[in-house]
Amino acid sequence: MNKNKSYEDSVYRLGRVSAIIFFLATLMLPAMLWFKWGLLPTKEGFIAGISVIAVIIIPILIGEFLSYAPIVGAAGYFVMLLSGNWMNIKIPASIVALEATELDSNSEEGDVISTMAVATSAIVTEVIIIAGVLLLTPFSSFFEQPAIKTGFEQIVPALFGALYIATLVKNPKAAVVPTIVGFAIVVSQVVNSLFFIPVIIAISVLIATIIYKIGNRKQTIEEPSNE
């Protein structure tokens, strides 16, 4: 238990320090434009842009934080924070690694394996992108063929179609509520598509919790000996 606490402490310490250093480093790109070439946006343009972004991006980022923090360990979360591409790469990589090792994501072992999976995934992605940058010219002509381009544009729906089946097989009952809620929200368009994820999660978790609690109560009434 004690060792677990110190592991957790060092995860958060490293996570926070690395996040701050990394964020400051990313500022070097626009800062370089400013210091080396004197390139700055106009004050009006910058203020107009930042206000639009604040309105759109802040709620999205809060939604992402609330949605993704529960499904990946703290260390994995900090790796994702720096390397990006959460839902299309890092989380699937972590899910598949946990599946392959038959570990539970809620266990300590699962948390450690998930961290290694996310870190591995981050490194592999960057290596592939480096190769991509070096070979950009030949790659461009291949991937710019209309048929190839159209195919790869569908990689995200393909990924989630397959992941959905994998989740469904493991836990079919739990998939029912979010599936229905998901379709209802998307069809009704009650919120802007940018907010689909947090809204679907909030409603689904609420309904699932209510159903679970009612079911539990019934069970304890029917089988009082189990109490």
Partner 1 sequence: MDYLEIANSRPMYLVTLFILALLMAQAVIFFRMAMKRAKELKIEKQVIYKAVKASAITTIVPSIAIIIGLISLSPILGIPVSWARLGMAGSMMYELTVAAIGAQAMGTELGGAMYSPQAFANSVWLMTLGVTPGFVLAVLFLRKYKSGIKKAVSKDTTFQTLILTTILVSVQMNFIAPAVIGGGNALNAVVIAAVVMALLTVCMVKLKWSWLKEYALSISMITAVGAIVLMQI
Question: Binding to partner 1 by residue 134, rule CB under 8 A?
Answer: no
Inter-CA distances, 40 with 23, 35, 198, Å: 20, 9, 35
Nearest to 162 by CA among 63, 80, 95: 95
Least Å distance, CB 227 to partner 1, is: 14
Identified binder of partner 1 from the candidate list 39, 191, 210, 214, rule CB under 8 A: 39
In the region spanning residues 169 to 188, those forming contacts with partner 1, defined by CB under 8 A, are: 169-171, 174-175, 177-179, 181-183, 185-187
Residues in the chain: 227
Question: Binding to partner 1 by residue 92, rule CB under 8 A?
Answer: yes
What is the CB-side half-sphere exposure of residue 85 using CA atoms within 13 A? 17
Question: Binding to partner 1 by residue 217, rule CB under 8 A?
Answer: no
SS3 219: helix
Question: Binding to partner 1 by residue 58, rule CB under 8 A?
Answer: yes
Identified binder of partner 1 from the candidate list 2, 5, 133, 223, rule CB under 8 A: 133
CA 169 to chain centroid, in Å, comes to: 22
DSSP secondary structure code for residue 90 in this structure:
I
Least Å distance, CB 225 to partner 1, is: 19
Nearer to partner 1 by C-beta: 102 or 225?
Answer: 102
Identified binder of partner 1 from the candidate list 1, 36, 223, 226, rule CB under 8 A: 36
Identified binder of partner 1 from the candidate list 1, 2, 5, 83, rule CB under 8 A: 83
SS3 97: helix
Neighbours of 157 (CB within 10 A): 9
Identified binder of partner 1 from the candidate list 190, 212, 219, 220, rule CB under 8 A: 212
